Structure formats: structure tokens, C-alpha cells
Structure 1
Amino acid sequence: MKFFNTSNIRGDLMGGLTAGIVALPLALAFGEASGAGPIAGLYGAIIVGFLASLFGGTGSQISGPTGPMVVVFAGVFASLSGEPALVFAAVVLAGLIQIAFGVFRFGHFIRLVPYPVISGFMSGIGVIIIALQMARLFGHEPEGSGTIPALASIPAAVMSPNVTALTIGAMTLGIVFFWPKKLGKWIPAPLAALAIATVFSTMVKGAPILGDVPTGLPSFIMPSFSQDTIFVVLEAAFLLALLGAIDSLLTSLVADNMTRTRHESNKELVGQGIGNTVAGLFGAIPGAGATMRTVVNIRSGGQFKLSGMTHSLVLVAVALVLAPAASLIPHAALAGILIKVGYDIIDWTYLRRAHRGPRWDLVLMVVVLALTVFVDLITAVAAGVVLAALAFIKQLGEQQIARLKLDSDEVGDPEERALLKSMHDQVSVFEFGGPLSFGAAADLGHHVREQADGKTRVLILDFARVPFLDLSAAKAVETIAVDAHDAGKALYLAGASKEVRAVLDGLRLVDAVAGDHWFATRREALEAAGQKIRREESPGAGLDQAIPAK
């Protein structure tokens, strides 16, 4: 594949231009919301957008500041008292971690996060963004940092609104929610809202505005951290890296669906990591793949790397020339734009249909959402993944042992069926229908013991359909062997692959199961069981009498 694909230059230039226009108000709003200032948001869109496109693995993706990344970065900025060397050290480290994710090919694993966890996590971030902006919509700043102080500030802001700011905020919300689609093809709703609100603010004074916005190129910042802050910086860096990776790869999947292409996930992580590393060195807020801007790019004709790079160059022109005009933008206008962003992040599609799906998935989504809003993002993701994994393992384990014992009528092979029937319930066959894991291990011995009634003299465990088993399952098999020995029953094991046999031998299960009780097939085990029963019933019977004629 070419590093640069020049077959769609016109479409890429148009897509990049349109995406750059859409990105402008969002970059300024995200920068202001982060605490680092609107110009830091603009630099983030420029640097991450350009380098992630240049080195990434999703041709049509537009990268830059996103709601989830800004929520985390704002928390880092507040916890480190806005100290640039510390704050941006976390961004640089996050970029390096993302590069490591790509180099060690973790991209496929990150995409394995269950959908209810992603839905709850993203919806929680949407709620946080809305909560953080509500007081600003009424012309007030939230007291303190974090979601809970922001929620606590809303009642006071509602009771004593800045009328001008509230008017601007309501106007902005009306435009971003109800801007006609036909006009949106030419002027994106956020840009129209920003321009109209700013003009209104210059005519009707009284609403808080951004104030001085620096122009020119960003300055180099040397990252550093002290012994007291190293753990805060590392924790923030890991969360930014993980969140940015998930956000970017989800957007890559959206781009794949729209363009009928397939992205390179590990290469995308490297590109995002390079972008965030450089962004941190120049005081820019971190970014990730931005779904809305990517969709705008694709719909405007963008397909390849040139579109994302063009989007960044459009923003460079704004940063160098139009920054003074940005100083007149009212806070309430940016708050209105961000509230729409938060609203769009909430997974309304799933919430509308959740009552029709599995109840556990809905519960998991709500738990992750609540943890995201009221605790922290790391706890939310970690708890969500663990709960989802445990629920899946439990469900899988229940299926693995749902129908262990084979009745004679359920045996497919006619000769095996005849053998089993001829032994009149004195042989119990237990067939495992897939991999055996710790999810099945807890109840495995109990089920075998319960279903092997008093008539049973021989137990046969059929491993023919078991590609592997873990330590917990192997210990459960050992328990079955000990129980069988104590109850005076013989235990035969059939069909164990080399991998399964190696695990069982490694636990010295041969001490509990005689060496001649291992069989290559279930039929051999049944024949041996028949011989054993016939010998016990008629001690003088020969081998020929033990096996039914074929």
C-alpha cells in the first residue's frame, strides 16, 4: 500500500477543509473546558490531527480533542494544579504508552472490551460533559473541579442566571439541535452557532467571554514530575492512553463501515501515540479519533491521509491569523456546543432498545455509567470488564455442564448405543461439550456425583470435544477421580488430546486414575467397561464373552 494515496486529491482536500471548519469551535470549546485554554485545544487538533493522519492506520480518520479525552485531561489539569511541566508530562507518557500498545500489537485486545462497558463508559462521559457545562450555560463557573461539585453548582446558577449568558446559551442550543440539514452541508451547525452567538455577544454586553487568546506557534514545554506526583502522572497517562486507544479504534470501525475498508489497528495506535507525544511537548491537549469529524470528512469526499492533514492545516491558518477574534467568543456559546457533544456521546440508541435485550447487559451498562460519573473512569472500565468477564464465564460454565450425562438414546453411534444399553445403567457416560474453564469447575464434581446414581459401577469422562482445560477444571477432574475411588467406582477417561493429557498428567492425576483407564475413544472405554462388569458378574467368563458380537 502506498504511504500516500493521491487518487482522491480533490475529495481529500474538500473533506479536510470541511472537517477543519467543523473542528474549529469544538477545539476551542474543548480547550476551554480542559482548563488549559482554547488555544491549547486548537494546538491539540492541529498536532494530533496531522501526525495521527500521517502515521496512523485509518486513512479517512480525523483526530483531535474529544469529549472523553478532555474529561480525563481536565481532571489531570485540576489535580496537578495546572502546572504545565507535570500536566503535559502525563500527555507525553500517554503518547508513548499508545506507541507501545501498537508496537506490541495490543490493538486487537483493546477492541475486545464488551459493548455494554463501552456504552456505559461513553454515556457516563456524556453526562459528565453536560454536568460540567450547565453552570456555564447560566453564566456561572462551577465551584471546584469534578462532576459532583459541578452538579452541586447547578441549582445556584439556575436561581441567579446571567440573563445575557442564558440567552446566548439557549440560542446556541437551539442552533446546534435544530440547524437545518440543508444548511448544514454548507455551514456546520457548531460553526454557525459560534458565529451567531459571538456577534450577539458583541452587541449585547454582559456575558463572560474568553478574553485574550494567544496567537502564533506553541512553545516547547519540558515535561517533568516529582516524587510526590509521579504516581498521579503515571495513572493519568495510562488512562489517557487506554481511553484514547479505545476512542480511536471505535472511530476507525465507524470509518470502516462507511468506506468499506479495513483499518490497521496497531498502526493507528502508533500514529495516535506519536501525535499525543508531540502534542504534550508543545502544551496541546491530547486527542483521539473523533467520530463526528471523521464522518463529516468521509461525507465530504475524504478517504485518505491527505484529508486529515488538510484539516490540521486549516486550523493552523486560524491559529496564526484569527485567534484575536476568538477572544470575543462567550463561554455560554461553547457550553451550548459542548452540551450537544455530551448529548451525542450518550448511547441513546442502546438505551431505547435496552429493555428488549439481556437484563444483565443493561445492569452492567448502568453500573459502568454510574461509576464513570461518580467515582472515576479507571474504576468504571476495570469493574465493567471484570464483571462482564465473570458473567460470561459463569454463563459459559453453565452451558458446559448443562447436559453432562449422556443417556443411551443420545449416543449417535449405533454400536456405542447398543453397548451402553447392554450394561443396564451400570455405566455412566459424561461428555464435555467444549473447553473446560474455571466457570464450570465449581459445579463439575457436584453434577457428576449427583447424576452418577447408586447403580453406577463405572464412570466414563469423554474429553473428545475438549480442546483445552484450565487448572481449575483439571482440579475438578481430580476431585471426581478421588470421589469415584472412595465410592468404589471405576473411572475411565476417553478421548483426551495431548494438550488435555499434559495438563492432567502435570497434576499427577495418574496417581488417582490407573494407567490402563485411559482410552483413545469413547467406544474403547465402553468396551473396557463391559468387560469389567462381565468379569465381576461372572468371574470365570472369558474375554470373548465380555464383548458383544459385532
Structure 2
Amino acid sequence: MLKDNRFQGYSAGHLQKDIIAGLVVGVVAIPLAMAFAIASGVRPEYGIYTTIIAGIMVSILGGSKFQIAGPTGAFVPVLLGVVMQYGYENLIIAGFMAGIMITLLGIFKLGKFIKFIPRPVTIGFTAGIAIIIFSGQIANFLGLKGIAKHEEFHLNMIEILRKIATINIYSVIIAAICLAIVITTPKFLPKIPGALLGLLVSTLVAITLFPGKVATIGSTYGAIPSKLPSFSFPDLTWDNIVMLFPAACVIAMLGGIESLLSAVVADNMAKTKHNSNKELVGQGIANIATSLFGGIPATGAIARTATNIKNGAASPLSGVIHGLVVLLVLVMLAPYASNIPLASMAPILMFVAWNMSERKEFAHILKTKSADSFVLVATFLLTVLMDLTTGVGVGLLLAIVMFVKRMSGSLKISKVLADTSEKAHKPEVMEYTMQGSLFFGSAEVIEDSFDNIVEAKPKVLLLRMSQVSFIDTSGEALLSKVVERLKDSHSQVVISGLQHQPKEMLKSTGLYDKIGEKNIFSSEPPVSKIKARHRIVTT
């Protein structure tokens, strides 16, 4: 760890800053760890285990100087779905598989490709996740009894309406106290974590004024163990791997996206530069290790990472200290956590959902009333009403289709007007300027334009291609077709201004030699030079 360049120039003064930052972030992480675990359908201590193991390992092995890892809201709907469909034991297997996938993404240096996911898709599924988290806490906020959980959003909403008569006024009071403190603390006591203060105060109120009146962690899940679980290797059978592969892919994708987004936020705040691939390797190994000790999937946590930087962190050591602080709390204070009301956890998660909703970005993209708006809404609605996998999958597909449509419309093939001496009769040299990319999406534009050109049967067709930067095999095939058809009519194709990629593509397919090197110019020659080369005399 001492050879890590993230520790360059480290001193005793930096150590003091790391201890303070690690202590603050550790305290902030504790209520969130339990809340995210409960929202994901597992026992609260599993969130604590994840925070400890992933928090320490990502700080040591990752590629970001200030990254704080742990359970996050992005995973909640995915993990809850896996738990409801396959059970907690299979969630561990899915997390293990996802860790391997994330590690491989980093090893094969594929981190940069995660950044290519379109912004409307990212905003759409993030807003959808926020809605799912927020709505999932309504029952605990109101203290509703006998609530059955469903995978479908609309069924959960119907369930809440059916059981609204079971509302617990004491739960509402506790939740309202916690929510008020969470909202007002940043304004009046900015150095105190609002979530922790809200949790402590509302729990004390519940114990003192309403003993036995509200559901608690202890009454719902039992006592929290004051130690880490033992090592246990997941049951990796072929059937389990096949069954959980889709879920593992989604967890890996989300983990990669969230981690790199968090690392970028950290870079912008601290003026640093992270190593994307190293960060993915660190996140992947941390998720593998977490699953071996019963933890749930983890990723970079943007809010906790920002808190780490704001409190003066100087190196990754602050992340290690944050994990050790959570471990110390687990060992010393776990029995007291059983008294925490579920109504106190609900507003904390609701507040997290509100902050992660990307509402301003969502509104901004909607205002454009463009194809991006359609992709955004489709991703959002499918994430909420169906599931995250469908939302992201369809969102990406729509984004690709919209991109191809835009790109196909960008190709322009325009005829250069003949000079005055040739206007009286058909010009023997026809000039066309091409702008854009020749690829599969522009096939229709290419075919329509070239059909008219071939029918004119010019002696020489001059294609000015200085503004064509890309040709794929589909575009090359159509160009080759034109060359063949004009050759049958004893006509010649001349290309000028050929750029590097199109030139390499034509060489690799043999079309370059078919056209002939003497007919391919790197610059834009005058028509007179073309006429002279092909012995065309203007009368």
C-alpha cells in the first residue's frame, strides 16, 4: 500500500485529516447500511458487513483516491427482486458472479466503455430507482401492518391502499420527527450527519414515549450479531450460474456505472484523476470478498464519497478508517440497534431517494422535447412499472435506434454544378461532394443518390470525400456496387480527399486496388486535372 501513488507526500498531518474524515463517514454510513439492507429485503447486519469489507477493500485496491464504497440505493430494486424471486442465498451467488464480471471489466480495460451509456438512459433508470425506493418506504413510514411485498410497482401501491386503515399514528410521529431532523440538520448543524441525528433522536422518543407501540429492527428481524459472519463459499452449481446470470449482469453493470460516476464526482471535487480500470478491479474483488462473508453487492457511494472529501480526507486511508469505525460500532453497539424503529429508517431512505432522483436533469431533458426525451421517459417508466433490466435494455436499444436515425440523416451527397461550358450538354465528368459517414444506417441515402448517378452514365464520376471520416463494411459494399456498375458502362470512379479510416477500409476489402491508385487523390484536384488524366476534351 505504501507504493501506491495515491499516498505520495503523505505525512502525519494527512493522517490526522484521514482519521477525522473516516470517523465522520463511518458514522454517516451506519444508518444507511442498515436502511439499504432492509430495503433490499435482507437483514440489516448484512448491510453493515458490506460496508466494512467493501469499504476497506475498495479503498486499498481501487483506483480513486477518495472513493467510499458500500451498499447504495441503486441496487435496492435489483437486490429486492433477486431476494423475492430466488432467496438471500442466491443473492450471494449473484453478487459473487457480478464481482467476477466487474473484475474482468477492469482487467480487460473496458472501464471506458461503461461511460458510453447515454445520459437519458442513466437519468431515466436512476429516477426510476428513486421512485421505487421512495414508494417502498411508505408502509414503514405509516406503520402499516400485514403488508405483502410484490415485485411489481403497481401491486405494491395497491397493497398499501388496501392496508391504509392499519396506519399507526405512533409510527407516523416517529417518522415525521426523523424526517424533520434529516431535512433541517444540514442547515442548522452542517457538521453533524442528519441521518444519524434523526435516527438517534427518533429512536429515543420511541423508547421513552411509545414503548412497544412501533415496529423495530429487533421485533422484525431479531437481534443484530456483534461480530462478522464466518467465511462461506457460495454454492456455484451450473444451474445456479445459468439462473442468476441475468441478475449478475445487471448488478455488475450498475456497480460499474455507479462506481465510475462516484469516482468522477470525487475527481471534480478534489481535482484528482482516477484510474477507471483499477477502480473496477478493486470494486470487483471487494464484491467477491463481501459475498464470501454474507454481504450484499456494493459500489461507490456518491454521497459518502462527497462527505469524505468535504471533511478533509487526504488519502484512501480515510476509507479504510471508515470501515474500521463501522466494525467497531458493530462489535460494541450492535445490541442497541435492535431498538431502532423501522419508521425511523423510512424517512432516511426517502431523503436518499429524493436526492438521487436527478429531478432537475430529468426536467431539463424533458424540456428539449427531442428523441432523448422519449428515451428518458421510456427508460423511467419501464424501470418503475416492469424492472430495471427491461428499462435499461429497452432504453439502450431506443438510444441506439435514435442515434442511427440521426446519423443516417447527417449524410449528404450533393452534386457540384457543371461549369458554363458544359451546361449545354451532358457533362462527361460528374462531381459529387459527400459529407458524413457511410455506414449501414445511411444505406438508403447512398442507394437513392447512386442510382441516379449510375443512370447518367458519366465518363468519370468524381467523389469528393474529404468530409467523410468513416466507412463501415455496409457503406463500402454500396460504394463497390457503384464502381462495378459504372465499370460495366465503361465509366471510371475517381475519389479525392480520402481520409485515413476510409482509405484503410477500402484497402482491406480490395476496393482501393479495384478503383486504382491513380484514381485516388489525398487532396482535392481541379476538374481539369481529372479531364487531362482521362483524356477528356471539352469542345
Looking at structure 2, the residues matched to 144 and 236 of structure 1 have their Cα atoms a distance apart, in angstroms, of: 19
Give the aligned partner of residue 138 of structure 1.
Answer: 142
Cα 1:209–1:393 shift into 2, 3 Å:
same
2:415 equivalent among 401, 405, 411: 405
1:4 equivalent among 3, 7, 24: 7
Looking at structure 1, the residues matched to 75 and 512 of structure 2 have their Cα atoms a distance apart, in angstroms, of: 55
8 A Cα contact 2:69 2:298, kept in partner: yes
Looking at structure 1, the residues matched to 35 and 117 of structure 2 have their Cα atoms a distance apart, in angstroms, of: 29
1:210 equivalent among 212, 217, 222: 217
Structure 2 matches for 1:299-310, cutoff 5 A? 299-310=310-321
Looking at structure 2, the residues matched to 489 and 132 of structure 1 have their Cα atoms a distance apart, in angstroms, of: 70
SS at the partner of 1:398?
Answer: helix
Looking at structure 1, the residues matched to 339 and 63 of structure 2 have their Cα atoms a distance apart, in angstroms, of: 38
8 A Cα contact 1:96 1:277, kept in partner: yes
8 A Cα contact 2:217 2:342, kept in partner: yes
Structure 2 matches for 1:355-394, cutoff 5 A? 355-357=366-368, 359-394=370-405
Cα 1:407–1:173 shift into 2, 3 Å:
farther
Amino acid at match of 1:18: V
Looking at structure 1, the residues matched to 163 and 134 of structure 2 have their Cα atoms a distance apart, in angstroms, of: 14
Looking at structure 2, the residues matched to 44 and 458 of structure 1 have their Cα atoms a distance apart, in angstroms, of: 70
Give the aligned partner of residue 194 of structure 1.
Answer: 199
Match status 1:75 vs 2:86: no
Give the aligned partner of residue 115 of structure 1.
Answer: 119
Match status 1:34 vs 2:36: no
Looking at structure 1, the residues matched to 381 and 273 of structure 2 have their Cα atoms a distance apart, in angstroms, of: 34
Give the aligned partner of residue 523 of structure 1.
Answer: 525
Amino acid at match of 2:25: A
Please state how far the C-alpha of 1:483 moved relative to its aligned partner. Answer: 5.4
Please state how far the C-alpha of 1:461 moved relative to its aligned partner. Answer: 1.3
Please state how far the C-alpha of 1:279 moved relative to its aligned partner. Answer: 0.5
Please state how far the C-alpha of 1:189 moved relative to its aligned partner. Answer: 1.1
Looking at structure 1, the residues matched to 238 and 279 of structure 2 have their Cα atoms a distance apart, in angstroms, of: 33
Cα 1:283–1:256 shift into 2, 3 Å:
same
Looking at structure 1, the residues matched to 415 and 140 of structure 2 have their Cα atoms a distance apart, in angstroms, of: 65
Please state how far the C-alpha of 1:135 moved relative to its aligned partner. Answer: 1.8
Looking at structure 1, the residues matched to 534 and 304 of structure 2 have their Cα atoms a distance apart, in angstroms, of: 73
Looking at structure 1, the residues matched to 487 and 347 of structure 2 have their Cα atoms a distance apart, in angstroms, of: 73
Match status 1:332 vs 2:343: yes
1:278 equivalent among 289, 305, 310: 289
Give the aligned partner of residue 52 of structure 1.
Answer: 58
Looking at structure 1, the residues matched to 228 and 536 of structure 2 have their Cα atoms a distance apart, in angstroms, of: 92
Looking at structure 2, the residues matched to 274 and 515 of structure 1 have their Cα atoms a distance apart, in angstroms, of: 53
Q: Which moved more, 1:148-157 or 1:96-105?
A: 148-157
Amino acid at match of 1:444: I
SS at the partner of 2:438?
Answer: coil
Give the aligned partner of residue 106 of structure 2.
Answer: 102
Q: Which moved more, 1:57-66 or 1:460-469?
A: 460-469
Looking at structure 2, the residues matched to 355 and 46 of structure 1 have their Cα atoms a distance apart, in angstroms, of: 40
- Structure 1: which 5+ residue stretches go unaligned? 409-419, 539-550
Please state how far the C-alpha of 1:533 moved relative to its aligned partner. Answer: 8.0
Amino acid at match of 2:206: S
Cα 1:138–1:522 shift into 2, 3 Å:
same
CA offsets, 1:238-297, max 9 Å, x none? 221111110010011110110011111111111111211111000011111111111111
Looking at structure 2, the residues matched to 57 and 305 of structure 1 have their Cα atoms a distance apart, in angstroms, of: 10
Please state how far the C-alpha of 1:515 moved relative to its aligned partner. Answer: 7.9
Please state how far the C-alpha of 1:504 moved relative to its aligned partner. Answer: 3.6
8 A Cα contact 1:492 1:525, kept in partner: no
Match status 1:476 vs 2:483: no
Give the aligned partner of residue 161 of structure 2.
Answer: 155
Give the aligned partner of residue 449 of structure 2.
Answer: 447
Cα 1:453–1:530 shift into 2, 3 Å:
farther
Q: TM-score, normalised by structure 1?
A: 0.87
8 A Cα contact 2:231 2:292, kept in partner: yes
Please state how far the C-alpha of 1:400 moved relative to its aligned partner. Answer: 2.7
What percentage of aligned pairs have identical amino acids?
33
Cα 1:526–1:67 shift into 2, 3 Å:
farther
Looking at structure 2, the residues matched to 438 and 466 of structure 1 have their Cα atoms a distance apart, in angstroms, of: 14
Give the number of aligned pairs.
522
Structure 2 matches for 1:281-320, cutoff 5 A? 281-320=292-331
8 A Cα contact 1:460 1:492, kept in partner: yes
Cα 1:28–1:109 shift into 2, 3 Å:
same
Looking at structure 1, the residues matched to 5 and 456 of structure 2 have their Cα atoms a distance apart, in angstroms, of: 72
CA offsets, 1:168-223, max 9 Å, x none? 222222222333423131x2111111112211221213211111222212222220
SS at the partner of 2:160?
Answer: helix
Cα 1:2–1:455 shift into 2, 3 Å:
closer
SS at the partner of 1:432?
Answer: strand
Amino acid at match of 1:207: V
Looking at structure 1, the residues matched to 321 and 417 of structure 2 have their Cα atoms a distance apart, in angstroms, of: 69
Looking at structure 2, the residues matched to 199 and 17 of structure 1 have their Cα atoms a distance apart, in angstroms, of: 23
Amino acid at match of 2:91: V
Looking at structure 2, the residues matched to 146 and 287 of structure 1 have their Cα atoms a distance apart, in angstroms, of: 21
SS at the partner of 2:137?
Answer: helix
8 A Cα contact 2:127 2:358, kept in partner: yes
Amino acid at match of 1:198: T
- CA RMSD of superposed structures (Å): 2.7
- Structure 2: which 5+ residue stretches go unaligned? none
8 A Cα contact 2:407 2:437, kept in partner: no
Structure 2 matches for 1:348-359, cutoff 5 A? 348-357=359-368, 359=370
1:493 equivalent among 482, 495, 499: 495
CA offsets, 1:483-528, max 9 Å, x none? 5467786533334457535544665658985786545544266533
Q: Which moved more, 1:509-518 or 1:497-506?
A: 509-518
1:260 equivalent among 237, 256, 271: 271
Give the aligned partner of residue 464 of structure 2.
Answer: 462
Give the aligned partner of residue 430 of structure 1.
Answer: 432
Looking at structure 2, the residues matched to 36 and 271 of structure 1 have their Cα atoms a distance apart, in angstroms, of: 25
Please state how far the C-alpha of 1:352 moved relative to its aligned partner. Answer: 3.3
Give the aligned partner of residue 132 of structure 2.
Answer: 128
8 A Cα contact 2:503 2:512, kept in partner: no
Q: Which moved more, 1:333-342 or 1:498-507?
A: 498-507
Structure 2 matches for 1:229-268, cutoff 5 A? 229-268=240-279
Looking at structure 2, the residues matched to 152 and 184 of structure 1 have their Cα atoms a distance apart, in angstroms, of: 39
8 A Cα contact 2:507 2:513, kept in partner: no
Looking at structure 2, the residues matched to 116 and 340 of structure 1 have their Cα atoms a distance apart, in angstroms, of: 23
Please state how far the C-alpha of 1:44 moved relative to its aligned partner. Answer: 0.6
Q: TM-score, normalised by structure 2?
A: 0.89
